[in-house]
């Protein structure tokens, strides 16, 4: 129970952060892709600017997780096509939907029940990808 | 009546958060998950949900130990609670407002969305059941959702997995993915939006 509640609390913190910074807003995403405000870039860049030294620190000190094992940071495969093609499809969806996967859950919780349809569409998209992935360049 | 310091704290949290608060919080969330032995990536939940519904019968891509991903479903569940908590307790005086720039207010007019400055809603009116059966609503909700789910898995991650976790770990693949995100996003915003809205 204690283990579960930690993850739920992290999710709540994530939800409050994204909501109060307006990163859940379709209009903020529209503004970002129009390069009309630094706001969204500030969130992403400052997270990365802190994330880079934090990850170096974890790697160099061989930091252990609370499970007692060394924290593993999996290297992603370097082959470009899947990232480019998949990234473009994701970007089309991100701009159109105005929510990426995290905010879908957050906006649903704020009372917009139609987000259930967003989630079902996203799950369907993932399912179709699973069916046809062997025909796609990776 | 709640003690004054609690009311003050609620008022403090309820202000719009600047980027320099939100960005470090996102980095903290990534660190907390790493410390618990997990990697931050929300879209992996869609694959888990497919697997949990028996999609393994249709593709080996969904044959994995999805129960080991329960922690990530809990993060997503927490995000739902976070949305509830914020809209219920931390809505603030402005409530449902996105504080976008005046340039954005102007661009929105070009799409036929006429808002006064300072009155752009946080959540757009087309996020509703009624809009689902209009062209913009259907495109945003059904097509947009589908592209997000398809693209995230094809690219091997979404904003949290690539733009935050992957870029922080200096992964070249994540940089390619983020370039793809922006190429797709700009194509949608500049070329396709005038056709949809």
Residue A77's pLDDT band, with cuts at 50, 70 and 90, is: confident
pLDDT for the residue numbered B3: 87
Q: What residues of B are in contact with residue A112 (Cβ under 8 Å)?
A: 123, 127-128
pLDDT for the residue numbered A4: 87
Cα of B90 to nearest chain A Cα, Å: 8
pLDDT of B187 over the 90 cut = yes
pLDDT for the residue numbered A125: 97
**Contact present, B120 and B100 (Cβ < 8 Å):** yes
B156–A86 CB contact, under 8 Å: yes
Distance CA B91, CA B153 (A): 33
B71-85 burial by CB neighbour count: b if 16+ within 10 A, else e? bbbbbbbbbbbbbbb
Measuring CA to CA, which residue among B121, B125, B88 is closest to residue B14? Answer: B88
Question: How far, in Å, are A89, B51, B169, B182 from residue A50 at the CA level?
Answer: 28, 34, 11, 22
pLDDT of B57 over the 60 cut = yes
pLDDT of A1 over the 60 cut = no
ipTM: 0.96
**Contact present, B75 and A14 (Cβ < 8 Å):** yes
Q: What residues of A are in contact with residue B32 (Cβ under 8 Å)?
A: 10
Distance CA A115, CA A17 (A): 19
pLDDT for the residue numbered A108: 97
Q: What residues of B are in contact with residue A135 (Cβ under 8 Å)?
A: none
Measuring CA to CA, which residue among A10, A50, A24, A27 is closest to residue B20? Answer: A50
A31–B100 CB contact, under 8 Å: yes
């Amino acid at each position: 129970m204690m283990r579960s509640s930690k993850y739920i609390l992290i999710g709540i913190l994530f939800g409050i952060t994204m909501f109060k910074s307006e990163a859940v807003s379709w209009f903020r995403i529209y503004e970002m892709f129009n390069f009309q405000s630094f706001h969204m870039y500030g969130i992403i860049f400052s997270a990365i600017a802190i994330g880079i030294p934090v990850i170096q620190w974890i790697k160099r000190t061989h930091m252990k997780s609370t499970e007692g094992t060394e924290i593993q940071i999996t290297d992603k495969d370097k082959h470009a096509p899947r990232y480019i093609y998949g990234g473009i499809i994701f970007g089309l969806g991100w701009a159109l939907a105005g929510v990426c996967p995290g905010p879908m859950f957050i906006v649903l919780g704020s009372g917009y029940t139609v987000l259930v349809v967003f989630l079902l569409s996203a799950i369907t998209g993932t399912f179709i990808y699973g069916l046809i992935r062997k025909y796609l360049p990776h | 009546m709640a003690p004054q310091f609690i009311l003050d704290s609620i008022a403090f949290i309820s202000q719009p958060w600047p980027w320099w608060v939100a960005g470090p919080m996102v980095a903290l969330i990534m660190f907390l998950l790493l410390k618990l032995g997990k990697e931050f990536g929300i879209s992996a939940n869609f694959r888990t949900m497919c697997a949990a519904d028996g999609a393994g019968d249709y593709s080996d891509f969904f044959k994995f130990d999805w129960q080991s991903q329960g922690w990530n479903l809990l993060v997503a569940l927490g995000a739902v609670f976070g949305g509830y908590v914020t809209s219920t307790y931390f809505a603030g005086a402005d409530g449902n407002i996105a504080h976008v720039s005046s340039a954005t207010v102007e661009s929105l007019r070009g799409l036929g969305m006429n808002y006064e400055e300072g009155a752009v809603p946080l959540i757009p009116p087309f996020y509703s059941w009624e809009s689902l059966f209009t062209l913009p609503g259907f495109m945003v909700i059904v097509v947009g959702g589908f592209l997000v789910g398809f693209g995230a898995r094809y690219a091997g991650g979404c904003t949290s997995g690539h733009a935050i976790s992957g870029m922080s770990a200096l992964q070249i693949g994540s940089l390619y993915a983020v370039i793809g995100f922006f190429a797709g996003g700009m194509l949608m915003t500049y070329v396709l939006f005038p056709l949809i809205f």
